[in-house]
Each structure stands twice: as C-alpha cells, then as structure tokens.
Chain A
C-alpha cells in the first residue's frame, strides 16, 4: 500500500479546503448551535441549584467540550460516499495504487483542521462569556485522548458501512440521518447521559452512539468512575471491531457488485 501518496493527498486536500473556509465555518457554526441551545436549556433548568450533580458551570463545561469533540469525531465524508458511488467517481479511485480509504481520510483530516480553526476561538470566546468549570486531572486527559480517537474511528466506520450500502440502494444516505438522530438523542447531545430518564440510561450505555460522541467528554469532565471507564472502553472496543468487520464485509461485497458505466 502506498502511504506516501496517501500523505500527499491528505496535505493537498487540507490546503485546498482552507481556501473555502467560509463554507466550512458555516457548517461548523450550524453543528454548534443545537448543542448551545441544549446547554442553555439545561442551564435554565438547573437555575442556581443543580440537577443530578450538574450546575450551570459544569453543564457549560460539558457542552463546550462536547462542541469541539463532536466536530472532531463527526465524519463529514460519509455523506459523499453515496454520491461518489452513484456518479462513478469511485472507479477512478479504484485504479489508483492506494486504498480508496485515503480519499476519505484526507477529507476527514482536512475537515478537522478547518473546523478547529473556527471552533476553538469561538468556544474560547463563549467560555469567557459563560464561565464554565471543568475538573481536569492528568489521568482524565490521558484517558480522554484514546477515547476521542476511538470515538472518531468508530463513528467514521459505522457511518462508512452504512454509506457503502449505496452500492445497492441509491438513497442509503438517509441511514446517516438516522444515525445522526440517534447520536443526538442517546449520544449525550440532547442531555448528558446522567440526565436522561432512568429507564433510558442503560440503553444509552449499551448502544454505540454514546461511544461515538459523549464518552470521551464524560471522561475528561470526570463524570465516570474508574470502573465505568473500563466498561466503557470495553464496549467501545467491541463496537469498533464490529464496525470495521461490517465495513470490510460490505466493501468487499459492494466492490464485486459495482459496475461502472461510461468513464
């Protein structure tokens, strides 16, 4: 496999995306807003007191970090996989001497860079405005980083295998909308997992959506105990393995099914 070509592609994509930054800043702004809305809703609900241990300040800390980690784990490229299969772009990638995964990877990394250029200053400014509190200790930071990386890989591959169903069904991207909805409801966006109704919390901890988004933030803000962290990492690893297996299965079947017309 040609990794040098892959790296050149990654650099190229990210430089070209930075030129269209206005567009990407708008996308980042759009993703930020729902989280800000729920931060303000829960802050108003908590008032001067606290809800299940969450005060206004800790809610603000949770949501501001979630805004950043959500953008770092959001796989925007999943949305274009279907289009590339439909219009036949994928034919060109298949004959290049490197894995087509690099095209997704280059866009992913380019996206993260451009989004952070916008989102880090904006969340920083918001932090000055609303005074969040976060108890950060070094263990949490060390555990946060792999959790964040795995969350991205899980979210990416889970969306990727869904998007690859476009080999058979033209509108497979509607499954991605379904996934986004589940992440919003059960992945700590609508509410931190601890604020969900009691009957829903075990379900949210079992399904993969928490591990795609809220789990690293919970670690960093110290919401989970050591044992819960360990269990979380186990669940994350299981879902991640499953996602990669599903990706490989769907990809191999899809490639055999794929027929390009014209060129």
Chain B
C-alpha cells in the first residue's frame, strides 16, 4: 500500500517537472481556469436574474452544485483525465501500440493507467472550485452540523468514485473499438452534471441516473449539503458508486484480455 502511495508521489513529481519546463503555459492555463469559473458563475447570475428557483433549486443551492461540478472537473483534469487519455485518447497507447511497454511494468495495471500522469496546473482549478464551494456554503446560510458534513463528504467521495468509474469504463471500450474516441464522449456528457439532474426531462433523468450516472455525481452531494437528501438515497448512492467502480474495473480487465497489441 505504502509502495503505491510512494509511486503516486513519484508520478506527480515527474509530471510536475515535465510541465515546469513550459512555465509560460502557466498564464495560459490560468486564463482558461478563470474563463471556466467566470462562465459558470455568470451563467447562474443570468439564469437566476430571470427566475427565483428552478424545480426547487435556488441560487445558493445551484452554486453549491457548481462548486462540486468544478471540483470534480478539477480532479478529472488533475490526474484521471491525462492518465486515461494517454492510454485511450487520441494517439493513445492503444492506438500506437506502446501500451505493450505499460503492461510490462511490475505494478497493478489499473493503478498504473489511472494515476500515471498529473497536470499540476489543474491545481488552479482545484483552488477556484474550493473557493466557489466555500462561498456557496456561506451563501446557503445554514450552519453546518457535523452530521451534514459527514454526509456531504461521503456522497462527494461517492461522486468522485462514480466519475472515475465512468471515465474508466468509457476508456476501456477502446479495447473493443480502438478507432473511436470514447473518452471524448464521456467528457462531453460530463457537462450535463453542471445542473441538477432534476431539471432534465424524465427520460434523460433516468439515463443520467442509472445508465451514465453523470447526474448523480454532483446532484447528490449538493442535496446532502443542503440537507434535502433522504437517508435511503444516501445509502443507495454509496452502494451504487462502489458497484460502478467494481463494474468498471471488471470491464477494464475484460478489455485487457482482449488487447492483442498493435503490430510494430
């Protein structure tokens, strides 16, 4: 276990060194991060300038959800995205055949492809996301009890696990069809998590809850923080996220068995 923690440290260090070589990039990344946050905040301002609330979501609770969305997005671009993308993305290892070398490393394969690359500039996104979240909690105005905080952290962890499972599952599909950019599809669909799943029409809500659980990732933690989440749904979400994690890992393993290398 400690071995793996140390490995993550090493992966982080190597990625950081590689990125620090392009220091001017920092300002470009900063611009993109600012644009991302400003767009999110501005959208809510425009929407709630027109209406008081949408299906029970008012400005503070929608802001909480935006904070969670930005937080998940930051974690995705910090390590899940770049790592999985390097395998399943455009010019990824499965396209080019260099995945052979990855398979030869004496570590757990899933661990390796999930934590290998880190994009340290995504830490800016992480800071902004936490800022929005804290501001939203202040705006919400209700004092946080320890119990609410525990519920929030538990569902947030479940949300992160669901996001990881979805990314891994879509990346694994590349073993069956290596020409298609499945990672792009899930990145696109993730945008639907920007707003509460309850505002979508029924058919879409069902898909975003049970099939591609993008809706649960942000909506459930936001509800937990606002104190409107029923205990039943809380337990269901946690079980569901663990199930999704196991399912995605199995899918990855099945895909791995199918992998037949590219000729070189």
Q: Are B42 and A185 in contact (CB under 8 A)?
A: yes
Q: Are A197 and B51 in contact (CB under 8 A)?
A: no
User: A97 an interface residue at 8 Å Cβ cutoff?
Assistant: no
In Å, the complex CA distance between A185 and B199 comes to 21
Query: Interface range on chain A: under 10, 10 to 19, 20 to 34, or 35 or more?
Result: 20 to 34
Q: Among B39, B45, B189, B192, which residue has its beta carbon within 8 angstroms of that of A181?
A: B39
User: A184 an interface residue at 8 Å Cβ cutoff?
Assistant: yes
Sample of 14 further A-B pairs with CB below 8 A, known A37-B192, A44-B200 = A26-B184, A29-B188, A40-B201, A41-B54, A42-B47, A45-B50, A45-B51, A45-B54, A51-B50, A185-B39, A190-B46, A191-B47, A195-B50, A200-B46
Q: Taking the nearest CB of chain B, how far is it from the CB of A239, in angstroms?
A: 22
In Å, the complex CA distance between A33 and B195 comes to 13
Q: Are A41 and B192 in contact (CB under 8 A)?
A: no
Q: B115-131 interface mask toward A, CB cutoff 8 Å, 1 = contact, 0 = none?
A: 00000000000000000
User: A98 an interface residue at 8 Å Cβ cutoff?
Assistant: no
User: B138 an interface residue at 8 Å Cβ cutoff?
Assistant: no
Segment at the interface with A among B24-32, B101-109, B234-242: B24-32
Q: Are B32 and A41 in contact (CB under 8 A)?
A: no
Q: Are B50 and A37 in contact (CB under 8 A)?
A: no
| Shortest Cβ distance from B192 into A: residue | A37
User: What residues of B have a CB within 8 angstroms of the CB of A168 in the complex?
Assistant: none
Interface on A for B, CB 8 Å cutoff? 22-23, 26, 29-30, 33-34, 37-38, 40-42, 44-45, 51-52, 130, 171, 174, 177-178, 181, 184-185, 190-191, 195-197, 200
Interface on B for A, CB 8 Å cutoff? 24-25, 28, 31-32, 35, 38-39, 42-43, 45-47, 49-51, 54-55, 179-181, 184-185, 187-189, 191-192, 194-195, 199-201, 204
A41/B199 contact (C-beta < 8 A), A33-B189, A171-B28 known: yes
Q: How many A-B residue pairs have CB under 8 A?
A: 74
Q: Are A41 and B46 in contact (CB under 8 A)?
A: no
Q: Taking the nearest CB of chain A, how far is it from the CB of B39, in angstroms?
A: 6
Q: Among B35, B189, B191, which residue has its beta carbon within 8 angstroms of that of A178?
A: B35
Q: Are A197 and B49 in contact (CB under 8 A)?
A: yes
In Å, the complex CA distance between A200 and B31 comes to 23
User: What residues of B have a CB within 8 angstroms of the CB of A38 in the complex?
Assistant: 43
| Shortest Cβ distance from B25 into A: residue | A171
Q: Are B24 and A177 in contact (CB under 8 A)?
A: no
Q: Taking the nearest CB of chain A, how far is it from the CB of B205, in angstroms?
A: 10
